[in-house]
A and B are shown apart, each in its own frame.
Chain A
Amino acid sequence: DVKVTQSSRYLVKRTGEKVFLECVQDMDHENMFWYRQDPGLGLRLIYFSYDVKMKEKGDIPEGYSVSREKKERFSLILESASTNQTSMYLCASNPGQVTFGELFFGEGSRLTVL
């Protein structure tokens, strides 16, 4: 089974702190994604990556950056956390040979910014 592992299930940070969210997948998938999920807004795409060292902006990239130094690892970085970044963050991957719609998600990282 595909496993997408997010390093932290729950985080509490203070405004202005730098935050790293790590995601690792174990199935050699080409594509990786970061979404955030908020009540009433659904899942919104922050960034995605087709390959190592490649990144593409999603619908809400402002305030975020990403890093993909190795194929299996995709990191989301909040340079200076703000309270409006309190959310559930979901990492996903897919093989790249199928439609982008068939995603394998991690368990999520719930971030609270105080």
Chain B
Amino acid sequence: EDQVTQSPEALRLQEGESSSLNCSYTVSGLRGLFWYRQDPGKGPEFLFTLYSAGEEKEKERLKATLTKKESFLHITAPKPEDSATYLCAVQGGDNTDKLIFGTGTRLQVFP
């Protein structure tokens, strides 16, 4: 069964303290892995798409990487405004257009 697991569930960081969020997946033929940011009470906002192992994408303090079994979202020198829940989703290769979402990592960055 296709599955996405995110860890940790919650992460508290001091401003400037770099860290990584993990997204592990099992799908039969990955067609894409997607990262979203979700602020409290709002809908998710698309961040990155990764298609193949070794691929990396960057945006400001965020960098997403992909291996054959997992993806990392690296946050360098985070600021309080980076506080949000980060969601990972995958699209498998079983001829379906459906996404499988993880339950997210809730990040809090303190000044």
> Interface residues, chain A, CB within 8 Å of chain B?
4, 40-45, 48, 58-59, 90, 92, 99-108
Contacts and interface: CB of A to CB of B under 8 A. Distances in A.
A102 B34 contact: yes
B102 A103 contact: no
Contacts of B45: 105
A59 B28 CA distance: 18
Interface majority SS on B: helix, strand, loop or mixed?
A: strand
Nearest to B43: A105
B49 A107 contact: no
19 contacts: A40-B103, A42-B87, A42-B104, A43-B44, A43-B87, A45-B99, A58-B98, A59-B98, A100-B91, A101-B32, A101-B34, A101-B89, A102-B49, A103-B44, A103-B46, A105-B44, A106-B43, A108-B41, A108-B42
B99 A101 contact: yes
Main secondary structure of the interface of A (DSSP, over half): loop
Contact of A108 (B4, B43, B104): B43
Interface string B37-57: 000011111100100000000
Given A42-B104, A43-B44, A101-B49, 9 more contacts: A4-B43, A48-B97, A100-B98, A102-B46, A102-B49, A103-B99, A105-B44, A105-B45, A108-B42
Contacts of B103: 40-42
A45 B98 contact: yes
Contacts of B49: 99, 101-102
What 6 A-B pairs have minimum CB-CB distances, sorted nearest first? A105-B43, A101-B34, A43-B101, A42-B101, A100-B97, A42-B103
Interface in B72-106: 87, 89, 91, 97-99, 101-104
A99 B97 CA distance: 8
Nearest to A58: B98
